[in-house]
Structure 1
């Protein structure tokens, strides 16, 4: 998302391709050395693109959310682009457990992507998710050709696919990059994810009348999430959560949302509202200045909670999200709207 909607977070800015200089970054992913690591490495990504390189990539650069997912599966990127560092120097939630002190910055915001810095890292592979067909998230369109001259890339499709399938794809990629899929932290995270899913399913069955709406806001508009286009929301719906969703998204947004003017922000009613928690989105206290928002039942009842819209696609990431969601829904009244 640029100033919010996911589909607009695709491309801006450009940089001239310069020659490769001294390498930088951190150590390669912790994987045991073996003859297999020296064999031809191939991967077919979600663009249908076949990547084939002489040996398994060791120096991986990834978009923040992709880096976070790979990190949870045991891969240690050498460079990151997209939101990963807050103004106070701390890690952005989008980068998950990644130790940002050990990775190089290629760009920290939409429109920032330093092609020259990418080249100096001498990367073996670049990984990014894709919300728009064949467009690597946070890789500017104007820089895409230059990037491809520097490093082969892998795109992971993040829309129109089930949540579990996306998580599993990152796990498979991590294993192909040398991580151990049976490592204790990975197994523990999977068990935690399964337990969180089961708990949320139980809650949904116990509170079938609890209506939940997911939104993000800009000064001009309120965006209401269209369930089929968001893998996390779709998954919660499959678990039985009563999601308030538009019948269809706004065509100009290419899916994902129905866009409402603030005058029409009361089109949908819900007991609970999950509000986009990312730094670039309006905060609930900012939206409170909008009269229609302030009058919504969930807002008046104080039942507005965070939605982690750019959570990394890993078992650990979504286990934490669902645990927090259950805690918030447990304490919520389910009789505010009919």
Structure 2
């Protein structure tokens, strides 16, 4: 895999642009499927126990029915043992003490948890069907709304389309339920909530005022400026005790969107009291150049947050929505905002 492709894939796992901006699968390869997921309608997933006809009244059910967020009714194992998970929130599995047998390892490139995927088989990107079959999964979880990809994977093992854009608490509790790890999910979330509350207590003691607003911006190749809403760092900042979105960003949140492309002329309407800039990958030279040009522009220099020195820069690779990245951000934010 070329460095350019690896960077493109790594960007996708952060879910800042969703996998709408990821490369499409190669239709000429019958052993691969595309992985182009995007936020979609969100029917509430449900699970119900389901025993086979051969099970006695005394025997516990080995399978149960679940309806995923795209409306597929799936028979899944009660206690899956060989899980393949392909999505930008892969580290959610680590906090549930689940080690997947396979994933798209390129999606973990340059993340805070990259070193933890050693020993997990790479199913490729696009997903290689032959490799997936060889791992003998009993459950496949994908951040993908491509029905063609879904149908191909269901021939290998029960497959769930999973909403990786969902809020951390909703997402982790559902994943814990699916994997038979709900107590672990509840405990981790309780610990995370305490860390989160302590973060905002410390920041307010350091001078953060109630009601302050925040914005997160980043550039993508093609001189495209995006404001983040329902993804990554924004999810941390807009927690109940945290910073507030501006009115224009609230509109994006109300539309259930992860992000929105804006023109630089509209920047003042989206800019908050505190601004966070996500640094593009160095290899994306046009995005890097666009970022630096913006930071020297008159429209940028005139923003109140810039004049007040309330601007913070963070590498985009560290701004994921996954559990371990979220935990890392809680530790990093006080250091970042103290600069």
Shift of 1:295: 2.6
Match of 1:107, SS?
Answer: coil
TM-score by length of 2: 0.67
Offset at residue 200 of structure 1 (A): 3.5
Aligned length: 286
Matches of 1:198 and 1:54 in 2, distance apart? Answer: 36
Query: Equivalent residue for 1:169?
Result: 174
Alignment counterpart, residue 275 of structure 2, candidates 261, 273, 290: 273
Unaligned runs of 5+ in 1: 19-34, 87-91, 333-338
Distance in 2 of aligned mates of 1:63 and 1:167: 15
* Alpha carbons 2:77, 2:138 under 8 Å: kept: no
Which residue number corresponds to residue 224 of structure 2?
Answer: 221
In angstroms, what is the RMSD of aligned CA positions? 4.0
Distance 1:299 1:114, change over 3 A: farther
TM-score, structure 1 length as denominator?
Answer: 0.67
- Summarize deviations over 1:179-238 as a string: whole Å, max 9, x none: 48359xx84x44541222212443358422643211221242211124xx4486356432
Q: Is the 8 A contact 2:80 2:138 kept in 1?
A: yes
Structure 2 unaligned spans of 5+ = 1-10, 33-57
Specify which of 255, 258, 263 is matched with residue 256 of structure 1: 258
1:284 positional shift: 6.3
Deviation per CA, 1:69-106: give whole Å up to 9, x if none: 112201111110264453xxxxx317x37732211111
For 1:154, the equivalent position in structure 2 comes to 160
Secondary structure at the residue paired with 2:196? Answer: helix
| Aligned CA distance change for structure 1 residues 37 and 303 (closer, same or farther; 3 Å) | farther
Secondary structure of the 2:162 match is strand
- Residues 84 and 5 from structure 1, CA distance in 2 versus in 1: closer, same or farther, beyond 3 angstroms? closer
Shift of 1:116: 2.3
Does 1:327 pair with 2:329? no
Q: Name the structure with the higher helix share.
A: 2
Q: Find the aligned partners of 2:232 and 2:108 in 1 and give their Cα distance.
A: 25
Please tell me whether the aligned partners of residues 85 and 102 of structure 2 are also in contact (alpha carbons under 8 angstroms): yes
